[in-house]
């Protein structure tokens, strides 16, 4: 286009047309329609089934950490492995559609770590094993090379597992191991279970004093007498969703 018109104006017009109308037409290349390129397809580029194949029931640790907006650090000496694994993880909490939590290649230098630590919850990828000694950077550490998941001591209370987590873990594994199901169907199964968890929170939620948002009624939650691990998880989930009274 630039060679044809000798001016960047025509290029800018096409760019603005895509931005505002989702379409760009050219004589040589036909039409470009942005609706033909669904962003959700990019979100599905990794494989949830591969993650479950590697970690089995322990995948529920990753799901729980993501639900609670915890800090996950992933290590593997090969950057390709780190990037493929990390980009898939946000699909475990599909309802949020949030890939901004992803920092798939971080170095152990002061500037990058300072920027990372300003984020409330994240998935960060490293190729330097030294990161395993930096427990200040993570709540959950994934050693991809050794297929090991470690929960940091300070995160263990919030990440206590119980009957609910076992149910979620079994659902994830059963869905992922079904040869008839695609990755998108597995994500859909997990998403339905996630919605069920939020439905469990609804009876214990009330409108805040200023009427702007839902907040957790902690007394109502305690009166329900859930198993301790379930109550603990729902409380921390409400905290992650900013549903606690300040």
What digits encode the pLDDT tens for the residues 101-144? 999 999 999 999 999 999 989 999 999 999 999 999 999 999 99
How many CB atoms are located within 10 Å of the residue 82 CB?
A: 23
Output phi, psi for 245, to 5 deg: -70, 135
Tokens of 3: 């060679």
Output phi, psi for 204, to 5 deg: -105, 15
Please answer whether residues 72 and 87 qualify as being in contact, where contact means their C-beta atoms are separated by less than 8 angstroms: no
Please answer whether residues 183 and 44 qualify as being in contact, where contact means their C-beta atoms are separated by less than 8 angstroms: yes
Q: What is the pLDDT of residues 138-197, one digit of tens each?
A: 999 999 999 999 999 999 999 999 999 999 999 999 999 999 999 999 999 999 999 999
Please answer whether residues 201 and 216 qualify as being in contact, where contact means their C-beta atoms are separated by less than 8 angstroms: yes
Query: pLDDT-derived band of residue 211, with 50, 70 and 90 as boundaries?
Result: low
DSSP 8-state symbol, 132? G
pLDDT of residue 232 exceeding 90, the answer is yes
pLDDT of residue 53 exceeding 90, the answer is yes
Best CA proximity match to 103, nearest among 71, 57, 135, 128: 71
pTM: 0.83
In DSSP terms, 123 is beta-bridged to 72, 102
- pLDDT at residue 246 in the model: 59
């Amino acid at each position: 286009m630039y060679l044809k018109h000798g001016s960047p104006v025509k290029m800018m017009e096409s760019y603005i047309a895509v931005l505002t109308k989702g379409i760009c037409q050219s004589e040589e290349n036909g039409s470009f329609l942005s609706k033909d390129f669904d962003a959700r397809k990019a979100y599905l580029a990794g494989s949830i089934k591969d993650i479950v194949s590697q970690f089995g029931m322990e995948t529920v640790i990753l799901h729980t950490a993501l639900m609670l907006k915890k800090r996950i650090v992933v290590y593997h000496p090969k950057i390709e492995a780190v990037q493929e694994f990390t980009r898939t993880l946000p699909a475990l909490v599909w309802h949020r559609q949030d890939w901004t939590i992803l920092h798939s290649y971080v170095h152990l230098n002061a500037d990058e770590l300072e920027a990372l630590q300003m984020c409330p919850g994240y998935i960060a990828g490293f190729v330097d094993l030294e990161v395993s000694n930096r427990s200040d950077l993570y709540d959950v550490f994934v050693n991809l090379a050794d297929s090991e998941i470690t929960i940091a001591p300070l995160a263990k209370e919030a990440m206590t597992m119980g009957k609910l987590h076992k149910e979620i873990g079994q659902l994830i594994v059963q869905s992922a191991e079904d040869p008839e199901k695609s990755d998108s169907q597995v994500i859909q199964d997990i998403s339905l279970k996630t919605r069920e968890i939020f439905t469990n929170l609804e009876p214990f939620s009330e409108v805040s004093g200023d009427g702007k948002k839902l907040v957790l009624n902690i007394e109502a939650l305690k009166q329900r007498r859930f198993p301790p691990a379930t109550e603990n998880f729902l409380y921390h989930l409400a905290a992650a969703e900013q549903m606690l009274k300040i």
